[in-house]
Amino acid sequence: MTVALERGAELDRSDPLRDHADRFVPTDGSVRAYLDGNSLGRPAVDLAQVMADFINHSWGSRLIRGWDEEWMDWPLAVGDALAAAALGAAAGQTIIADSTSVLIYKLARAALSLRSPERDEIVVDVDNFPTDRYLISGIADELGLRLRWIRTDADLGITPDLVARTVGERTALFLASHISYRSGYIADAAEITRIVHAAGAPVLWDLCHSVGAIPIALDNWQVDFAVGCGYKFLNGGPGAPAFGYVGARHQDQARQPLQGWMGHARPFEMGPGYQPHPGIRSFLTGTPPILAMVPLRHAIGMITEVGLDAIRAKSLALTDFAIELIDERLVPLGVRLASPRDHEHRGGHVTIVGDGFAEVKDELWKRGVLPDFRRPDGIRLGLSPLSTRFAEVALAVEEIADILG
């Protein structure tokens, strides 16, 4: 065992969350280190039983009665549980629904329903996640608005300074990711929100890479709109439903255009004419994805139990360890760290770049070490605080060193 592997094992022994890693389904023999929990989180060991109970005793036995008895409340109740555990948001502002992409469309359109006609620009950065950029481009085309692109440093992300230089009296909406999907850079969401508000516009934050990894304080930051992903650090399973947050003060003014029956004030009257439900419920569209919420609901329970402060402490310990090993073992081999070093701006994943990294990633996968790859040359080590072991970090760095060496 190398020094790095020994240190990883030692850190695992002293990790206060070490028991939690045992609560996830063990990877099979084909995986020695899983470092992509920020693309797809892992299932809990007891999830199959939770799902069997849901299928046989809730769906299978309560049948249609399940809707009145509890399911109609789930989009808001599970949203509230997530808000309390991970979003720093009071109840009644968060729903579980749709996909991140569909919610970006709905909430961006809702945000833009508030604009005055002279505000005709949407501010977005070139390094935002593709689906955000694609959707907002489509919306701008549809509504005859202009996109104002911010050029960010790809190793970092969006900064208050860049935003302050861009927003103004023509800004209708600001859209950005709280944590950059590539570099892991944490934007100063509180300060940026303040700057955008000072320019008279609302913000829409994409929390996909921050939710479940770092503390978030949507209410304190006075965020207007936010969306995020259920299948990354929230462990909701492939294609899990997403969540959307609409600040209470906007809920009865902002209107999203997908006005389906679940957003109606009295859906089961089935009457003529759409009347939006008061509050956050008007942001629902179709029948809520109840079965698909079961894993997410279960995982939110685990996050609630552990708490975001303990999760963030473990996350920083994991990324500290990763950066230490990268500096020791990989930088001498020509690898460059493409993520922030300071805790303040460092999220839950770490990206390294180097020559031939597309092939390095392929070789890593063959060896059972699974990081993600981001074109053109980034290997992204995603460290999921509840499930990743320090030993996995050490193994990944050792294998990269071996391939490069």
Footprint (CB under 8 A) of its own copies, residues 292-351: 292-293, 295
**Residue among 12, 80, 98, 206 flagged as catalytic:** 206
- Answer for which of 4, 33, 112, 242 binds its own copies (CB under 8 A) is 242
- Answer for which of 111, 290, 302, 381 binds its own copies (CB under 8 A) is 290
Catalytic residue flag (residue 231)? yes
- Asked if 291 touches its own copies (CB under 8 A), the answer is yes
- Asked if 135 touches its own copies (CB under 8 A), the answer is yes
Site string for its own copies, 163-202 (x = CB under 8 A): ----------------------------------------
Q: How far apart are CA 76 and CA 95, in angstroms?
A: 5
From the list 115-123, 151-159, 261-269, 340-348, the region that binds its own copies by CB under 8 A is 261-269
Q: Which is nearer to its own copies, 10 or 362 (CB)?
A: 362
Beta partners for residue 176, in sequence order:
205
Catalytic residue flag (residue 361)? no
Catalytic residue flag (residue 73)? no
Catalytic residue flag (residue 132)? no
Site string for its own copies, 6-45 (x = CB under 8 A): ------------------xx-xx-xx--x-x--xx-xx--
Q: How far apart are CA 295 and CA 304, in angstroms?
A: 14
- Answer for which of 82, 85, 89, 262 binds its own copies (CB under 8 A) is 262
Rounded to a whole number of angstroms, the minimum distance from the CB of residue 283 to its own copies is 12
- Asked if 372 touches its own copies (CB under 8 A), the answer is yes
Rounded to a whole number of angstroms, the minimum distance from the CB of residue 7 to its own copies is 25
Rounded to a whole number of angstroms, the minimum distance from the CB of residue 222 to its own copies is 27
Rounded to a whole number of angstroms, the minimum distance from the CB of residue 62 to its own copies is 8
Close Cβ partners of 191 (under 8 Å, ≥ 6 residues apart): 160
Catalytic residue flag (residue 129)? yes
CA 127 distance to own-chain centroid = 16
- Answer for which of 5, 9, 23, 101 binds its own copies (CB under 8 A) is 101
Catalytic positions: 129, 206, 231-232, 380
